[in-house]
Amino acid sequence: MRSRKELISTTFSVHSLILVVGLVTLAHAGENQFVSFDFPDSTNTQATAITPSGEIVGRYFSSDGRQHGFVLNEDRFTSLDVPSASFTDAAWINSRGDIVGTYTLEGESQGHAYVLRNATFTTIDFPSGNINTTGFGISNAGDVVGVGFVGSDFFHGHGYLFRQGQFTFIDFPGALGTFPTMVLNPRRVVGAYLDTNSRLHGFLLYNGEFSTIDFPDSTDTWITGINTKGDAVGFYHSKDGKMHGFVRSKRKFVSVDIPDANSTVTNGINPQGNVVGFYTTPDGHTHGYFLAEALD
């Protein structure tokens, strides 16, 4: 890994940019272990992370096609948008409520990572100029991981860890692209990488050593997150081309499939083993979901 100390950041207040839009309508199944939910009037809702207390973040698309972040707390949705942004993504939330994500300003094409802490957004940009920067994961200590890439070429991007104003670059050896998605601490990072055959694999970076993690008999694997116990989540494609979610605990995999769904993705997991993600139904709509104690 390479290290470089440079912070390009701006801060601005979130006042009046968060709008509470009302209570969510919940659909229950299986003794309340599974909950499906949709942001009001949206046909595409995706949950991305969940805190130990059960607060959920994610993304949704409004009727004008724009993407927004959201927070779901005690059955109430709050819309989340970076000021003056045409695109906002909320990717992870840590135990103290800090949110990390990505945004693009009106009239611009360059993406920026952000952290929302105490009602204030702070921008994080890749050290070299004109680089798109995504924010994917944030630890309880405030360390951030994500990807920097040129133009629309995400899959040849470079990973980074941003800690105390310093960038450390993360590149899986020999990979075409590396995509860190969550960090527990500077010694433990998970994500995915693209090999020279254009196949995606999950990875764990632990104490400076990389290891590959693949769901058995899959054609590709993407790890989306990890909790403080070391349980990882993500999604994979089976040989029939279908997308499935998964949880990995103690080196054992559990596949996650929502009944009658075309595809399922598992994005976030908290220490209790509760997971969130999204699934797509035959009508083309995408719904967020909560699944309690997925490892049981």
pLDDT of 137 > 70? The answer is yes
Say how far apart CA 86 and CA 106 lie, in whole Å. Answer: 5
Tell me the percentage of the chain whose pLDDT exceeds 70: 89
Which residues, other chains included, contact 117 with Cβ-Cβ below 8 Å and sequence gap of 6+? Answer: 97, 98, 99, 142
Q: What are phi and psi of 156, to 5 degrees?
A: -115, 25
Segment 38-52 shows an average pLDDT of: 97
Q: State the pLDDT at residue 114.
A: 98
Q: State the pLDDT at residue 15.
A: 30
Q: State the pLDDT at residue 295.
A: 75
Segment 166-176 shows an average pLDDT of: 97
Say how far apart CA 53 and CA 290 lie, in whole Å. Answer: 13
pLDDT of 31 > 70? The answer is no
Q: Which of 183, 167, 89, 90 is nearest to 127 (CA)?
A: 167
Q: Give the chain's domains with CATH numbers.
A: 2-291 (2.120.10.30)
Say how far apart CA 211 and CA 97 lie, in whole Å. Answer: 30
**Burial bucket for residue 211 (CB in 10 Å: 0-12, 13-18, 19+):** exposed
pLDDT of 26 > 90? The answer is no
What is the band of 181 on the pLDDT scale with cuts at 50, 70, 90? very high
C-beta separation of 291 from 72 below 8 A: no
What is the arrangement of strands in the sheet containing 144-149, beginning at the earlier edge strand? 2-4, 166-170, 158-163, 144-149, 132-138
pTM of the model: 0.90
DSSP character at residue 278? E
Q: State the pLDDT at residue 198.
A: 97
C-beta separation of 202 from 222 below 8 A: yes
Tell me the percentage of the chain whose pLDDT exceeds 90: 85
Q: State the pLDDT at residue 129.
A: 80
pLDDT tens column, 183-229: 999 999 999 999 999 999 999 999 999 999 999 999 999 999 999 99
Q: State the pLDDT at residue 2.
A: 35
Say how far apart CA 34 and CA 81 lie, in whole Å. Answer: 28
What type of residue is 260? D
Segment 172-193 shows an average pLDDT of: 97
pLDDT of 98 > 90? The answer is yes
pLDDT tens column, 236-277: 999 999 999 999 999 999 999 999 999 999 999 999 999 999
Cβ atoms within 10 Å of 16's Cβ, excluding its own: 7
Place of tokens 């839009």: 21
Say how far apart CA 183 and CA 206 lie, in whole Å. Answer: 10
pLDDT tens column, 61-70: 999 999 999 9
For 34, how many CA atoms within 13 A lie in the half-sphere containing its CB? Answer: 14
Q: State the pLDDT at residue 68.
A: 98
What is the band of 106 on the pLDDT scale with cuts at 50, 70, 90? very high
Would you state the torsion angle of the CA atoms of residues 257, 261, 263, 267, taken in this order, to the nearest 10 degrees?
-60
Q: 127-131, 139-143, 156-160, 271-275 — which is least confidently predicted?
A: 127-131
What type of residue is 73? N
Q: Is 154 helix (H, G, I), strand (E, B) or coil?
A: helix
C-beta separation of 74 from 250 below 8 A: no
What type of residue is 203? F
